[in-house]
Structure 1
Amino acid sequence: MNALAPLPCQRHLFEVPDDVAYLDAAAWSPLPRTVREAGEAGLLVKSRPWAHPREAVPAQAERARAAAARLIGAATDDVAIVGSVSHAMATVAANLTVTPGGRVLRVADEFPSLAYAFDRLAAVRGLVVEEVPRPGDGDWTAALLAAIGRPGAPPLALATLTPAHWTDGGLIDLDRIAPAVHAAGAALVIDATQAAGAVPVDVGRWRPDFLAFPTYKWTLGPYGLAFLYAAPHRQDGTPIEENLGNRPPATGARRYDRGELNDPVLLPMAATGLELILAWEEPAVAARLRRLTDRLAEGIDGLGLAAAPTHLRVPHVLGLRAPRGLPPGLTERLRQAGVYASERSGALRLSPHVWTDEGDVDRCVAALRRAL
């Protein structure tokens, strides 16, 4: 597909009813039919093992690994298969050597899986955790750049960042921030949970030490599986769990592979979802989702809700806030109208994906008008 060609709505690939506006991809996605079918076929492998040789399953692991690597611009050997992003981050924290007295930099109200492992690392290694407060003007990028270069601050040892704030889609522009982190001589760890599958993610451009993402959100896959990219100079570490598959002669990021790797259900599901995204191409997905979130932002005009300006939010997530806070029970009232969204840290988070069409947007806006 030409990356510039408009991506049409892909609702026909899903089992989303016409009267449901599911705007909660940032929580977890529905499965495309082909992904569900891949899982059902995998269940037969375990249900009838005499009819489905186990020897065929390892190829599914490599299929999923290769698709994940392509999605983020990595080499296949640079990607490990793990159980979750928290599993990935525990592995990362166990394999970083940092100088005591340095800073761990992150945004305020960060998702726990990108915080807890590094809180522990800071406590053990004598680091200072600095959380950049939510900026009043919504410009996370400027706030982070100012924090990185702040005169008199302890040296930056580690930045744990995401391309978007998970609560409301606030843009964290790693194209600008990553070079500043590298210039400071710090390690860069990226949680691409709210990016991979919806917008372009490129380890060649950002040059992270580590990057992780799961499959159950934007890449349209199952729960319980994630991928960890490790830069070549970070691949000689120690996994947090030892198993036959990740011991020598395993090399590259495979050294961090999880145990019970060869899951006949999750691996083909993950690979199928990733291959769908790759076929559409992330720039085309992002362009479609930008049109939908812009339409949502225009539709709420006059309702007393505010969204960040277009240049300060990612294409695929729209966070809406009210001056006095959202009214209690708003998401439940929307659900009763067939509109599904989440409230996160005081923001109504609307997150469409490729199954969403303009009718879903209009249903959401109408439901908000009634609810407010």
Structure 2
Amino acid sequence: MNCQKNKFQLNKKYAYLNCAYMAPQLKSVEKAGRKGLAKKRQPNLITPDDFFHDLETIKILFSQLVNCPDKNRITMIPSASYGIANVVNNLPLKKTDNIIVCGDQFPSNVYPWMSACQKSDAELRIITAPDTTEMRGKLWNEKILGAIDEKTQAVALGHVHWADGTLFDLLSLRQRCDEVDAALIIDGTQSVGALPFDIQEIRPDALIVAGYKWLLGPYSSGIAYYGEKFDKGTPIEQNWINRLDSQNFSELVNYREVYQPGADRYGVGEKSNFIMNPMVIAALKQILNWQPHHIQTYCHDLIQPLVSEAQQLGLYIEDSAHRSNHLFGIQIPEDKQDALHQALKLHRVSASMRGSFLRVSPHVYNDSRDINKLIRVLRAIV
């Protein structure tokens, strides 16, 4: 794959290595948004079918992206926290139960569990990273697996760690969860779209993805997958469109107790967004055209000079077998962090500090010039 910078409108004077913060907008996505915006000029032309057509398209496209055999297990959500809240609301906890999360996990996949555990007096087990740079990712995965027991009701974490890119061994976690009958809840916000994810292989009970990062969609968009464990659950929101036969507008006053089949019971109200949904569709089509495994390969090849340089400078980066290529952390000594902020600004590089790590998150719009800018930043502070 060649660099795809021409499909975006990035300022070429800056090196935007920060997709984990927020994806830049594809030209095609902006065009779709403008078309959707114009459509609402004449609402008399918006038909009942328009409330559902784009939703079906999104479900089909996302199912292709994550190899989901049933599109009806896909629904629209406005945020990761919304998607996780539906999960938490339908996993009752007892005092003797525990929930497993990883250390320094993104708050949207921690606060809901924290609240649920406090209400039920259950245990929230936060499995922190090992205090070492030797085989850190491998040891962290082993700690998480070792923390799961017969009282574990759910393991909730990302495919990659949002701050440093550590890869979590989802297949081993799935196997262990099966052994103790625990749910596997994946926040795919920092991976799905750039890192291959296979529903049929990993078999998550829920996959929650905010749309404005690696899905390249607009802010306040998101997509969720809910497995069989949640087929008869109660959604956190009671809206008209998640009820059976909501397509029949003339019958909406005949209130239904039955929900739409599959995951649509958990969909957000007003998910028929005539501006955002076409943008989501355009983004998904582009990702499917590129394919996540090609994105990983592009990023792998792109970052090799940076990884080599950082290691030569004595900075820690996780071994490639235990981190992703689209998101990874470079550990910055505390006494160098102020200088780092200044150097990033001086060299016009956008990347995020998360804890002690400089989080670098390239995409196919980045090129060797962007990487060289960051190399100059690192040389300036070490």
> The TM-score by the shorter chain falls in which range?
over 0.9
Deviation of residue 324 (structure 1)?
Answer: 3.8
2:197 to 188, 192, 201: 201
1:304 deviates by 4.0
Report deviation, 1:19.
Answer: 2.0
Match in the other structure for 1:156: 152
Query: In 2, distance between residues paired with 1:369 and 1:142?
Result: 30
Kept in 2, the 8 Å contact 1:72–1:203? The answer is yes
How many Å separate the matches in 2 of 1:247 and 1:333?
54
Contact (CA 8 Å) 1:99, 1:157: kept in 2 or not? Answer: no
- Residue 377 of structure 2: which of 363, 367, 371 is its match? 367
**Aligned AA (1:201):** F
| Paired position in structure 2 for 1:173 | 169
Q: Map 1:325-336 onto structure 2 (within 5 A).
A: 326-328=336-338, 330-336=340-346
Offset at residue 218 of structure 1 (A): 0.7
Question: Runs of 5+ in structure 1 lacking a partner?
Answer: 1-6
Distance 1:295 1:184 in 2: 44
Segments of 5+ residues of structure 2 without an aligned counterpart are 246-259
Deviation at 1:35, TM superposition (A): 0.4
Q: Offset of 1:141 from its aligned partner?
A: 4.6
Aligned to 2:277: 267
Is this contact kept in 2: 1:102–1:155, CA < 8 A?
A: yes
Is 1:145 paired with 2:142?
yes
Q: Is the Cα contact below 8 Å between 1:101 and 1:154 reproduced in 2? A: no
1:104 and 2:107 aligned: no
Note if 1:247 corresponds to 2:257.
no
Distance in 1 separating the partners of 2:194 and 2:336: 27
Q: Distance in 2 between matches of 1:186 and 1:29?
A: 33
Residues of 2 paired with 1:315 and 1:226: CA distance?
23
Q: CA deviation at 1:366?
A: 1.7
Q: Aligned partner of 1:15: which letter?
A: Q
2:50 partner SS: helix
How many residues in Structure 1 have an aligned counterpart in Structure 2? 365
1:11 corresponds, among 5, 15, 34, to 5
Separation of aligned partners in 1, 2:144 and 2:207: 22
Amino acid of the structure 1 residue aligned with 2:354: R
Deviations 1:58-105 (A, max 9, x none): 211221222122211112100111110100011110011344312211
Which of 277, 280, 295 does residue 287 from structure 2 map onto? 277
Change (3 A) 1:326 1:318: farther
DSSP 3-state at the match of 1:240: coil
Query: Are 1:132 and 1:144, in contact at CA under 8 Å, matched by a contact in 2?
Result: no
Equivalent position of 2:211 in the other structure: 215
Alignment of 1:1-372 (within 5 A): 7-50=1-44, 55-74=49-68, 75-135=70-130, 136=132, 137=134, 139-149=136-146, 155-249=151-245, 250-324=260-334, 326-328=336-338, 330-372=340-382
The Cα of 1:24 is off from its aligned counterpart by 0.1
Question: Following the alignment from structure 1 to structure 2, what is the Cα–Cα distance between the partners of residues 196 and 147?
Answer: 22
Distance 2:107 2:336 in 1: 23
Shift of the alpha carbon at 1:290?
A: 1.6
Aligned mates of 2:10, 2:310 — CA distance in 1: 24
Tell me, yes or no, if the aligned pair for 1:67 and 1:274 is still in contact at 8 Å.
yes
1:8/1:47 CA distance change after superposition, 3 Å: same
Contact residue 136 and residue 318 of structure 2 kept, 8 A: no
Distance 2:99 2:333 in 1: 32
Q: Structure 1 residues 150 and 338 mapped into 2: Cα distance closer, same or farther (>3 Å)?
A: closer
Distance 2:332 2:360 in 1: 14
Post-superposition offset of 1:220? 1.0
- Mapped contact 1:331–1:342 kept (Cα < 8 A): no
Q: Whole-Å Cα distance in 2 between the matches of residues 192 and 150 of structure 1?
A: 22
Q: Percent identity?
A: 29
Q: Secondary structure at the match of 1:275?
A: helix
Change (3 A) 1:183 1:316: same
Alignment deviations for residues 278-305 of structure 1 (CA, whole Å, 9 cap, x no partner): 1111111111112223332112244342
C-alpha RMSD of the superposition: 2.0
Distance in 2 (alpha carbons) for counterparts of 1:141 and 1:59: 44
CA displacement at 1:165 relative to structure 2: 0.9
* TM superposition shift of 1:329: 5.3
| Residue 229 of structure 1: how far off its partner (Å) | 0.5
CA distance in 1, matches of 2:105, 2:122: 18
Q: 1:89 to 1:175 in 2, by over 3 A?
A: same
Cα deviation, 1:301-338, whole Å, max 9, x if unaligned, reads: 44342211111211211211134454215235313322
Deviation at 1:176, TM superposition (A): 2.4
Identify the range of structure 1 (212-221 vs 290-299) with the bigger mean alpha-carbon deviation: 290-299
Deviations 1:93-145 (A, max 9, x none): 00113443122111111110000111111122332111112112353454343
> Could you say what secondary structure the match of 1:105 adopts?
strand
Counterpart CA distance in 2 for 1:123 and 1:301 is: 43
Aligned to 1:355, the other structure's residue is in SS state coil
Give the partner amino acid of 1:252.
G
